Amino acid sequence: MSMPSKPRKSNARKLLISQLSCGFLALSCAATTPERETCSPSTDIVQVAPGMYVRPGHAAVVFEGDEIANLGFIVGDRCVAIIDTGGSIAEGRALDCAIRGVTGRPVCYVINTHVHPDHLLGNAAFVRPGVEFIGHAKLPRALALRGDLYLERASAHAGHELDASNIVFPERVVAETVELDIGGRVLTLRAHDSAHTDHDLSILDSRTNTAFVGDLVFLEHLPVIDGSINGWIDELEQLSAIPLDYVVPGHGPTSARWPAAMAPTLQYLTELRAKVRAWIAKGGDLASAQATIDAPQKAQWPLVERYHERNVGAAFAELEWED
């Protein structure tokens, strides 16, 4: 079930791309996507920092809603780097069109923060010469394991069959850190240890001291554990030491102050871990844990009814083997 869209707070300038015409960029539109003669901007984007834009997502269940995750792009003097592409090729195309409403510079990189389909199934909109796809070193394995399932579920949601071309693997992977120079600004891609997933990638922009942190940070959407609760807490504690100004979370407002932005996610995970550990210590089993352990800060989290029980299960499976 889709959640209603919420108004978002931002001190940044909001660009309603739907009000812009692609006409003044018609040459570059035609040059970059000859298969599409027209560009019909249809999505909102927000400028969160100089040359940095976000397409806001809205909390919903994957394969039930659309435009769920925050997507972004960073404009360099040479070219544009995209961070996540949305839940469908249509979302990717809308993002592509929004980019061409802002700049005539070509897209050179598509960076995926992790495998989840609300972040990655728009990749196919950017398969063209000059665009390189980049992800964590463990992203290819995750895509190989889940690609078919994602196609099946995305096809059901779309109402028509999607073929394998909708799963786009990274051509370049990041095992530790990689720097990308997009012209006058350097992006530092960092591969994280198992946290939200086992292959989270964050992207720090040197010019604005702002990072896209993907689903390492959730706001306005219950955190979902698909990696390691212990690892996620450790990663957030390490990240908190980095003196960033702002981050773009994978879900929630288009930007948020750092490190305050990570506090709700860290608090939920830390309190959940304490509850599950206590349950295991007194001999409780998985089924009773899932039926009984309530969500920390339950009232503040959209989608708690869809994902909290699952989180208890993931945490239990990991923590029951601790010494």
Note whether 255 and 226 are within 8 A (CB).
no
Note whether 291 and 202 are within 8 A (CB).
no
Number of alpha carbons in the 13 Å side-chain half-sphere of residue 71:
33
> Candidates 27-35, 74-82, 115-123, 166-174 — which segment interacts with Zn ion by CB under 5 A?
115-123
- The yes or no reply on residue 116 touching Zn ion (CB under 5 A) is yes
The sheet that has 201-205: what strands, in order across it?
A: 177-181, 186-191, 201-205, 210-218, 246-251, 256-257
- The yes or no reply on residue 215 touching Zn ion (CB under 5 A) is yes
Nearest approach, Cβ of residue 62 and Zn ion (Å): 8
For residues 320 and 281, give the distance between their C-alpha atoms in angstroms, rounded to a whole number: 9
> Candidates 71-79, 215-223, 253-261, 314-322 — which segment interacts with Zn ion by CB under 5 A?
215-223
Nearest approach, Cβ of residue 125 and Zn ion (Å): 20
> Candidates 71-79, 177-185, 214-222, 257-265 — which segment interacts with Zn ion by CB under 5 A?
214-222
What DSSP line would sit under 235-257, residue for residue? HHHHHTTS--SEEEEEESSS-EE
Nearest approach, Cβ of residue 31 and Zn ion (Å): 34
Nearest approach, Cβ of residue 249 and Zn ion (Å): 11
> Candidates 59-67, 108-116, 146-154, 256-264 — which segment interacts with Zn ion by CB under 5 A?
108-116
Based on CB atoms, which residue is closest to Zn ion, 25 or 115? 115
Based on CB atoms, which residue is closest to Zn ion, 105 or 192? 192
Based on CB atoms, which residue is closest to Zn ion, 93 or 116? 116
Based on CB atoms, which residue is closest to Zn ion, 116 or 273? 116
Based on CB atoms, which residue is closest to Zn ion, 44 or 215? 215
The sheet that has 45-49: what strands, in order across it?
A: 14-15, 45-49, 52-55, 71-75, 80-83, 107-111, 132-136, 172-174
The residues binding Zn ion (CB under 5 A) are: 116, 215
